[in-house]
Each structure stands twice: as structure tokens, then as C-alpha cells.
Amino acid sequence: MALTRRGFVRILGGGAVFAAATGVGLSQCDRMPASAIEGWAGPPAGESDPRRRALAFALLAPNPHNRQSWLADLGSPGEIALYVDTTRMLPMTDPPGRQVMIGCGCFLETLILAAAAEGWRAEPTLLPDGFDEADPGARPFARLRFAAAAAADPDGLAAQIRERRSAKIPYEAGRALERGHAAALEAVHRDGDIALTITSAPETVARLREIAMQAFRIEVDTDRTFRESVELMRIGADEIAAHRDGLHMHGPFFWWLKRFGLLSVEEQMRPGSTARDTARSFLDADAASTSTFAWLSTAANTRQMQLRAGRAYVRLNLAAAKAGAAMAPWSQVLQEYAEMADLQRRFLGVVGVAPGATVQMLFRLGYAAPPPPTPRRPLDAIVRA
């Protein structure tokens, strides 16, 4: 649940709080800390290790709740072993860790693309030692061997790594994804075991809009899932700089809301609070403005397939950035907890996947001005020597 000033104006209805927040000459206060988004500038100056350079790009990959649930071990020369950071899981909204694994797949593919663009082949082996369900971080989810090669970016995807965004904002209403742009996405999707479906069919889109809105309401109405998002909110420049992850909110508007106690965890969780009551309709404008949905589905739901789905998703996201299209995940209905089960069955009927198949990613496509970059942790925070 990415929150913006626009969203909280909707949630709180403006009024006296908004007037106070915008009428005190603080329009320049509480900006996004430069340290939180410095990663979007690329590898640190003077960085020569090709593995660290590739990792510096990889940490810009999309991932659920911006938890950045990955670690890299550089202990073996010329290799990288990648691990799930189990301190950064989402146990309430992603109990099986499926979405976290997809995020790790996004990280892996971004790393491979970045390495190739700089003249290195990073050959991956997925789950080289298997997967320990009891301890997902015990074994690497991938091991990569680096070898010199000709610099290559044949699809122009690596060039978009720093430009890619998850555009969780309203799109140009009534404007479906252009056929040429849909074809551009289809051209970079090369995993034959993962089905890509893109639809702008009005009836299907209308049903998916309704389901998407209902799924978000279920997440908000379920205390443990809503609290997971609330506790990951980084409110104000100081919190953003300290964490550099999660769901960020900053600026004079939020500075005042926090000062008045309206953004505390307790207040947001309180039944009947303005923020929580109105949060149920938080994404309605985003859904209503969506004219194209897409999804990735697989016959099997293994850990390896989840990683591959992440690799496929980030390629599509990069291709959308290249085409000038907006793209963002809509994952609530795919979350695997009891309260979501009935709506999820309805959703699977709408998209028509085969019995037993899994929709790994649902996302929206359209057109909007690119949002600003989101916080990222520093490279050294994810690297083991």
C-alpha cells in the first residue's frame, strides 16, 4: 500500500489539518532525503568490482512493500550467492513467502541485465542447494558465476533500470495500453512456462477493477494485514533516512499529520478512525483509471517458478518504461490468507486460468507521468564480504 499526499488528502478530506499543513510557510520542509534515493544514481563512484556494480543496479528492482528482502554473499571470487533476507518477510500478507520470492527473482534478473550491459555474463543457477521451507534464508536462492563477455543490452532493458518505476497512481482515464506497446512487452517475455495475458476488454477490465477494490478493502479490514502495512510506513524525512525501505510519506502535509498524532500506528489501527475508515476507498481512483490489466500465470507453483516469474515481471516493467507506459502490481487479491480466499477464487474464474494454475503477478498498465524514485538501502547493507 504505497501512500502519497494525494491519497491522504482523500483519506482525511483536507479540512483544518490540511489548511494548517499548507498555510505555515513550510512548503520546502521534510523533503525526500537525498541519502534515501542516492542508489538511483547508479554504482558508487570508484566502484570497480563488477559484482558490486551489478548489485548496485539490482537493488533498484521492484519488490513487495519495498522490503528489499535480499542479501548477496561475495565470499567466493568471481561469484555471487544470493539469499532471502528472512528478517524482511511479510508474514501477514504473504504467509508462504511467494511474493517475496518473486521480488528476489526481480532482483536476480536486474542483476543479470546490469552485468551484461557492462561486459559480464552472470550465469545463474537457481536454488543450487534446494530450498529449506523451514528456513528460507538458509540456502542461496541463486548462485551466479561471472565471466567476461561482450557488453550487451539487446532489448534495451538494462538502460531502463534507473528509469523504471512502479506507478501506483491514477492513469490517464479511458486510455488502454496501445497495441504496439503491448507487443513490445510480449517481445521481451521469453519464458515459455509462464503465460502472459494482457487485456483491455471492457467487461473483463470492469470485473477486475471491482475485484481489485474489494481485495484492498479486505486487507484494510483485516487487522493483522493492515497493521503490517501501517508498521512499514516511514513517515517524514528522518524515518525515511533511517530505514530507506517500506512505504514512504514526506512533506509538510505529513509532517503536520504526524505532529498532530494522526499517523501513529495506534490511531491508524483504531476502529472508526478517519484514516482507517476512508482507507477502504484509497485505491478506488487508481482502479477506476485503469483500462488495461495483465497477469503472469504458471502451471506449477514451485519456488523456482516463483523466481522465474519475478525475472519475467521485471523484464516487462523495464520494457514498459522503455515504451513510455506506466505499470504497477496489484497484488492484494493474490495474497494467500483465509480472508482473501473466496475473492481469490472469484478472481481466478474471471481470468480463466487452468485448474491448479497460479497467477503469480497481477498488474495494471496505462499512461501517467513517472513518479519519483523510492528509497533504497545502501549497497553495503545487502552485501556479505
User: What pLDDT, in 10s, does the model give residues 249-263?
Assistant: 888 877 787 788 878
**Cα(375)–Cα(385) distance, rounded to whole angstroms?**
24
For the chain, give the mean pLDDT. Answer: 92
Summarize the confidence of residues 271-290 as an average pLDDT: 87
What structural domains does the chain harbor? Answer: 5-17+26-32+165-366 (3.40.109.10), 34-162+373-384 (3.40.109)
Closest among 220, 135, 168 to 6, alpha carbons compared: 168
Binned at pLDDT 50, 70 and 90, residue 327 comes out as: very high
Closest among 200, 196, 157, 156 to 366, alpha carbons compared: 200
Instruction: Identify the three-state secondary structure at position 237.
Output: helix
> Is residue 114 within 8 Å of residue 53, measured between CB atoms?
yes
> Is residue 115 within 8 Å of residue 108, measured between CB atoms?
no
C-alpha cell at 2: 504505497
Check residues 17 and 36 and name the one with the higher pLDDT.
Answer: 36
> Is residue 117 within 8 Å of residue 152, measured between CB atoms?
yes
Q: What pLDDT was estimated at residue 4?
A: 46
Q: What pLDDT was estimated at residue 28?
A: 61
User: What pLDDT, in 10s, does the model give residues 330-340?
Assistant: 999 999 999 99
Per-residue pLDDT at 18 exceeds 70: no
Binned at pLDDT 50, 70 and 90, residue 5 comes out as: very low
Q: For 323, list phi and psi in degrees, rounded to 5.
A: -80, -10
**Cα(246)–Cα(2) distance, rounded to whole angstroms?**
9
**Cα(239)–Cα(242) distance, rounded to whole angstroms?**
5
Binned at pLDDT 50, 70 and 90, residue 2 comes out as: very low
**Cα(106)–Cα(100) distance, rounded to whole angstroms?**
10
Lowest mean pLDDT across 37-41, 69-73, 142-146, 353-357: 353-357
Summarize the confidence of residues 365-378 as an average pLDDT: 97
| Dihedral over Cα of 105, 111, 113, 119: its sign | negative
Calculated CA dihedral for residues 40, 46, 48, 54, nearest 10 degrees: 0
